[in-house]
Structure 1
């Protein structure tokens, strides 16, 4: 059995080919293509599907003897991006990326109509956002009523790919909590919100568990794929949750950090109960009864990339790493990484980025250190908020995890072991694991840890009083500047 793991990322589309022992046989990627116009960020669903088919072909091109194997296409990736089709399955309009920010006023309207606390209890999302399909559909009802009038299926991006492969319209449960119209606790659509957003009746897909096999690839699509004895499709799961499986961090007490442009944190929590004062996004997990907590922090790697470009004149990350390692730091500045404004867990509405305690003795490397430390401080605030009980460890993936200096700094600041697997395709590996479990090749998700598991580097914390004092100073600056 072979698994083509398809990752529908925001920046890149990727396909990784695995055998049933999780050996990687091939990999191919291509940039995601968008049409941008101010706050509008749109994509062509048909072009995206064509690209995925092409990447599957590239993966198979250099592999021998694949035609005799059964193949499964397992789909992971982003959640919120929206595709609306007519009765023939043709897109009524371009797809709307989750990056599309046109529905800010509509998001505020949702808050006013339902109240953020009530909506949080239903949807699992602490606050409404223009990101969510609910806000975009409310915008379409107001500005493009003809779009909704002709809609016969309202799908998320993964749903549309599954439909194109199989002709079956289903949604996968771990992505539903990112719609703002799914009742997470009761496992059903939130009908009050559907009515308010004028979502056409019968247009939403049936929802199935993560990792469900949904049947054969349709005959017209099989002709466009590499040879195989048969093709099935597995619905996979949300990219962040698949990455947890791919790194062995889908376990109680282990925080999974995706250190990319957005700092994303996930935690499996079997003891979770709803608390309206604990503003953490909660979602259905990969198994019945699982709850996964999730926080997305915009002020993560984006802040370091901003400073690298504008404060370091595009210095390479390798050179920055070398220069950060080559000096001792006595009293560097404090940096508040709130360049994008509101960030969990504090949600200060007036927050901005800031350097504090600067003097004439500081240079650009001191400031770069402050940026990395400031993001580590924000990471600690989120880890402690996400997991009131001390975490057993933190598994870090993504571009930021390539920096040994930063990994050690995060361990020191957060006071937990930081584990960095040598696995750059954790999301695809996790999707392949779900497919292998569904096929019976593996009994449990945890069994994948015995199959070609990636080597891991462990960074152990050193919690000195100086480090603790720096964190207290960061928290005090944040409170004095932005806490109302």
Structure 2
């Protein structure tokens, strides 16, 4: 029987999923199971790794029960997963704690502030590849060391969520460079753990697994995992990667000149570069081959959600709001919206506020709604310009995904503000496709994961910039940039007012 299928596993924050993908990149079936997030108090977020594993078992068995022929046809298995969740196991392979800190857990904020107070960006950016943020596992390890010393003392290995699934499947422990690059502990030049950062943060090197390529074969399904999941013993399992960089691959964003716009609750803008961009406002993730410098706006789709709630008490659909926004002209008659409803994650403007600027008597709800869509795009374009200047590589095309890619108006607004055509993948499950592309290359069906992705990913027609809109937006972008930069003093004043 030919081995012409790939099994993709995606361990997300909301669910664990498994999918069967064929050699053309078509998803034949997908099964998922939700798991809960434990929020003991504001700013905390945990999950139980055993829930991830139970979800993976459920999803795989659901696939194999419905498609029993697939068991012997799976050429390889590849997992991706939510990043930064810090899983600790002891020397016997047991969890040192039943729950782990997730990417969105904020209890490390004071440790980040202390680090920033005592270290200058020029002293650590070249060693870490990233500015500090509470999401990074380095600060989670510090917090666990200081607040759960017994569990930390018993730690023999640190893993990320998909690594834990791989461990349960194969008994092998590893971490790949997509995850390690966003730990604040990996040297971007060597793609190995940074002795300087480990020393600076007081983390023992002995608990960190070897950093490997995401497309390497980690091991194979062992007898215990086969009994639990129904998979065949000996099926190859890849090292895999973080869900975000794997989704970049699965959306076709895998060479310089391409960019990614993922707009869900937030908005993540990524470019592809040969080297990381060392800037306090830019983060960097190591992709399968190159680097993915990225910036994150805390309010992407959340800005639209806020407007729906604030102006209509959620009585209108998002489609209704887009239709309202479409009634206003490009530029909203000179109305600007700064979309910083939740501040910013990095840089000197973390306490930024949202604001409308330029409201006049001739503005109505349609202008306000359109300005919200345009404001998110102006904020993203400001970062795109920073990254294009740093790389010297102008973007030729941006691939859009996430909920924001469902709005035709928003796509056209972004294309016109960015001045770049926007493409939308026909298959929205980019993480699943990325895992399949990695698996296909690992077993020799394609020469590289990028080659596999080019065969697997198909797009609808490009959304092109509107020349008339471009002219309006080019005049507005510098005003938006000045509004952003010159409002900092008022943000600080508002902070003092709230005390």
* TM bracket, shorter-chain basis: over 0.9
Q: Normalised by the size of structure 2, how large is the TM-score?
A: 0.89
Aligned to 2:368: 367
Q: Which residue of 2 aligns with 1:303?
A: 303
The CA distance in 2 between the partners of 1:343 and 1:83, in whole Å, is: 24
454, 459, 473: which one aligns with 2:479: 473
Write out per-residue CA displacement over residues 107-134 of structure 1, whole angstroms, 9 at most, x where no aligned residue: 12222344332221111112x1111111
Q: What displacement does 1:79 show?
A: 1.9
Alpha-carbon shift at residue 240 of structure 1 (Å): 2.4
CA contact (8 A) 1:74 1:235 kept: yes
User: Which position in structure 1 is the counterpart of 2:496?
Assistant: none
**Alpha-carbon offset, residue 3 of structure 1:** 1.5
8 A Cα contact 1:141 1:197, kept in partner: no
Three-state SS of the structure 1 residue aligned to 2:395 is coil
Going from structure 1 to structure 2, the CA distance change for 1:138 and 1:405 (only over 3 Å counts) comes to: same
Query: What residue in structure 1 maps to residue 67 of structure 2?
Result: 63
Distance 2:313 2:302 in 1: 16
Alpha-carbon distance, 1:297 to partner = 2.2
Could you tell me which residue of structure 2 aligns to residue 4 of structure 1?
A: 7
8 Å Cα contact 2:423/2:459 also seen in 1: no
Contact 1:265 1:295 in 2 (8 A): yes
Matched with 2:336 is 334
Pair 1:13–1:306, CA change in 2 (3 A) = farther
Which ranges of structure 1 fall in alignment gaps of 5 or more residues? none
Any stretches of 5+ residues in structure 2 without a counterpart?
491-499
* Residues 59 and 265 (structure 1), Cα distance of their counterparts in 2 relative to 1, 3 Å cut: farther
Residues 114 and 385 of structure 1, relative CA distance in 2, 3 Å threshold: same
Report 1:161-310 matches (<5 A): 161-228=165-232, 230-270=234-274, 272=275, 276=278, 279-287=281-289, 290-310=290-310
Displacement of 1:81: 0.9
1:64 Cα deviation from its structure 2 partner: 5.1
1-structure distance, mates of 2:176, 2:92: 22
Q: Per-residue displacement from partner, 1:389-418 (whole Å, max 9, x unpaired)?
A: 321111111110010000000011111101
Whether the aligned pair in 1 keeps the contact of 2:75 and 2:443 (CA below 8 Å) is no
CA distance in 1, matches of 2:334, 2:60: 49
Deviations 1:150-201, CA, capped at 9 Å, x for gaps: 2122222222221111111110111111111121212221234334544345
Say if 1:234 and 1:435, in contact at 8 Å, map to a contact too.
yes
Quote the Cα distance in structure 1 between the aligned partners of 2:333 and 2:187.
Answer: 49
Q: Which residue of 2 aligns with 1:19?
A: 22
Contact 2:80 2:162 in 1 (8 A): yes
Q: 1:44, 1:241 → 2: CA distance?
A: 24
Q: 1:105 aligns with which of 102, 110, 117?
A: 110
Preserved contact between residue 80 and residue 178 of structure 1 (Cα < 8 Å)? yes
Q: CA offset at residue 140 of structure 1? A: 2.0
Q: Contact 2:261/2:400 (CA < 8 Å) preserved in 1?
A: yes
Judge conservation of contact 1:336–1:353 (CA < 8 Å) in 2.
yes
User: What is the aligned-residue RMSD (CA, Å)?
Assistant: 2.3
1:158 aligned residue (152, 162, 166): 162
1-side partners of 2:285 and 2:146: how far apart?
A: 29
Residue correspondences, number? 478
Give the SS at the match of 1:27. Answer: strand
Confirm or deny: 8 A CA contact 2:85 2:102 kept in the other structure.
yes
Structure 1's 482 and 114: CA in aligned 2 closer, same or farther, altered over 3 A? closer
1:340 and 1:352 in contact (8 A); partners too: yes
Q: Tell me if structure 2 keeps the 8 A contact 1:413–1:463.
A: no
Aligned ranges 1:290-439 → 2 under 5 Å: 290-314=290-314, 315-328=316-329, 331=333, 333-342=335-344, 347-388=348-389, 389-439=393-443
